[in-house]
Amino acid sequence: MENPGLRERKKQRTRQALIEAAVRLFGEQGYDHVTVAEIADAAQVSPRTFFLHFQTKEDVLLADADVRVDLALRVVGERRAGETLSEMLVRAMDEMIVNAWDRELSSGLAALRARLAASTPALQARLLQRYLTAQAELVRALHRAFPDVLDLATVSALVGAMVGAVGAAALAALERGDGPDEVRDAMRRAVALVARSVA
Amino acid sequence: MENPGLRERKKQRTRQALIEAAVRLFGEQGYDHVTVAEIADAAQVSPRTFFLHFQTKEDVLLADADVRVDLALRVVGERRAGETLSEMLVRAMDEMIVNAWDRELSSGLAALRARLAASTPALQARLLQRYLTAQAELVRALHRAFPDVLDLATVSALVGAMVGAVGAAALAALERGDGPDEVRDAMRRAVALVARSVA
DNA sequence: GTGAATCACTACAGTGACTGCACTCAACGG
DNA sequence: CCGTTGAGTGCAGTCACTGTAGTGATTCAC
């Protein structure tokens, strides 16, 4: 169950090849000057195979987003004794930020995504959808964790404030051309700000 | 300048015909069982004309969203003497809610949109994109109105909380099958809740 | 080890959103 | 009344995405 097996490893290798080819080509030529056929070609597979791994062309750029949501949900699920709502939310956001920094900020992938999303409506739409879906999941999880203290509207407002603030901070930092460390710090400051003002 | 002229009136008539045909067909058959060609056919125009009026198939359902954003921006632009930030934000949200009730909630269009968006990822993505764009505009306008009091991160958090709470409240009410009046009231309660907690 | 089942991958043909282009004709403006 | 403008059309084309019917390598049962 634990070790993958040859077939699964091959599958992951083609998946990774598709992602890398896509990121490289998008970076070189821009999102909509690259066709799925070209990505598949660069990854040495047939065009049809691309859609075996990703539902849409946009999804290849958002491949790892789900992982981060799971991190936050785990934090919420493993509520520590005596932890308040805002403490828990801060911890969940921190987990996601650190993970994002490890995987994407430091490699410049986040900056590429931001740049491409800014210039491509379809991509922007999908990206936002991912964030909002994650936001909704977080709301549900928090509501489950503190069912008697908070109603759904309050939790929605709190999470909305967090996500709105962090997103705006990250975007501003990326647009300013900040390096990965500075982006991460800006996001953390936003989390702290919101946590303080609702305490 | 003020009165439209025959040509412009004809244009608006075809635009309206396209919207009505699309809403009717979407309601009957579901979003992606209706082709643009069918919509154009029902509106008695060529398929090519559809794209003269709407950039994408999704946009025909979101045709009037921009109007409401303008309402909120006008409220912010015409700041009343001595009005605090949260008072102004409440007023802006109220304007939008009232307008939404007039145009969409009472006619069931909002409910149709919610139903279709829930089952169609592409539509959901565009809808969210519209909301988030509006949110960003509102943030910029508020930041201009209170430049010395608030930094961008705070405004983002506040607006994020408002939009997040109102959206969640509206969605919950629509899902519950509430009538238009109840949806509107739920949205207003959400606004009041957020305004109170940040006062 | 061998045969059967599984599954990633492929080739092909098709649908449908969306675009560029060349054109028509009604409405507008002087 | 005539030149200009602009909404609408027809057509050919690109590209994202899907259904289907395969093929061949891995996996599993025996």
> Which CATH number covers residue A162?
1.10.357
Closest residue in chain B to residue A189, using alpha carbons only: B153
- pLDDT in the model for residue B58: 95
Q: Determine, yes or no, domain membership for B1.
A: no
Judged by a CB distance cut-off of 8 A, whether residue A149 touches chain B is no
What percentage of residues in chain B have a pLDDT greater than 70? 98
Q: Does nucleic acid strand C have an atom less than 7 angstroms from the CB of B172?
A: no
Q: Does the pLDDT value for residue B102 go beyond 70? A: yes
Residue-by-residue DSSP string for A80-100 = PTT--HHHHHHHHHHHHHHHH
* pLDDT score at A199: 61
Does the model's pTM come out above 0.85? yes
Q: Are residues A79 and A41 in the same domain?
A: no
Question: Could you tell me if B129 and A128 are in contact, meaning their C-beta atoms sit under 8 angstroms apart?
Answer: yes
**Residues A159 and A83 reside in one and the same domain:** yes
Contact A125/B129, CB-based, under 8 Å?
Answer: yes
When the pLDDT of each residue in chain B is averaged and rounded to a whole number, the result is: 89
Residue A53 falls inside a structural domain? yes
| Residue B147 resides in a domain | yes
Verify that A50 and A80 share a domain, yes or no: no
What tens digit of pLDDT does each residue of B4-63 get? Answer: 788 999 999 999 999 999 999 999 999 999 999 999 999 999 999 999 999 999 999 998
A55 and A143 housed in the same domain: no
Across the range A110-134, mean pLDDT stands at: 88
pLDDT bucket at A64, cuts 50 / 70 / 90: confident
Same domain, B193 and B113: yes
Identify whether the C-beta of residue B39 lies closer than 8 Å to the C-beta of residue B60. yes
Number of domains, chain A: 2
The pLDDT tens digits of the residues spanning B117-132 come to 988 988 999 988 888 8
CA B156/CA B175 separation, integer angstroms: 28
Same domain, A75 and A121: yes
Q: Please determine, for residue A182, whether its predicted confidence score (pLDDT) is greater than 70.
A: yes
What whole-number percentage of chain B has pLDDT above 90?
A: 44
Residues 6+ apart with CB under 8 A from A65: A130, A134
A146, part of any domain: yes
pLDDT tens digit sequence for A137-179: 998 998 888 888 778 888 888 888 888 888 888 888 888 889 8
Q: Are residues B137 and B169 in the same domain?
A: yes
Residue A1 lies inside a defined structural domain of this protein: no
Residues of B in Cβ contact (< 8 Å) with A121: 129
Is residue B130 located within the same domain as residue B182? yes
Asked if A157 and B126 come within 8 Å (Cβ–Cβ), the reply is no
A6 touches strand C (CB under 7 A): no
Query: B118 and B40 in one domain?
Result: no
Q: Which two tokens stand for residue B85?
A: 């930030």
Q: How many CB atoms lie within 10 A of CB B173?
A: 23
Is 50 exceeded by the pLDDT of residue A76?
yes
Domain span at residue B46? 6-55
Q: What is the mean pLDDT of chain A?
A: 89
Average of per-residue pLDDT across A120-147: 88
- Of the two residues B99 and B152, the one the predictor is more confident about is B99
Whole-number Å distance between alpha carbons of B72 and A82: 41
**C-alpha span between B168 and A152 (Å, rounded):** 8
Tell me, what's the pLDDT at B106? 82
Model pLDDT, residue A1: 47
Q: Are residues A55 and A69 in the same domain?
A: no
Is residue B193 included in any domain, yes or no? yes
Same domain flag for B78 and B116: yes
Helix segments in B120-179, DSSP class H: 121-145, 152-175
Whether B177 and B132 map to the same domain: the answer is yes
B83 lies in some domain: yes
Q: Is residue B11 part of a domain?
A: yes
The reported pLDDT for the residue numbered B199 is: 61
pLDDT in tens, B141-178: 998 888 887 788 788 888 888 888 888 888 888 888 89
What CATH number is attached to the domain comprising B24?
1.10.10.60
pLDDT in tens, B66-87: 778 889 999 998 888 888 888 8
Nearest residue of chain A to residue B136 (CA atoms):
A168
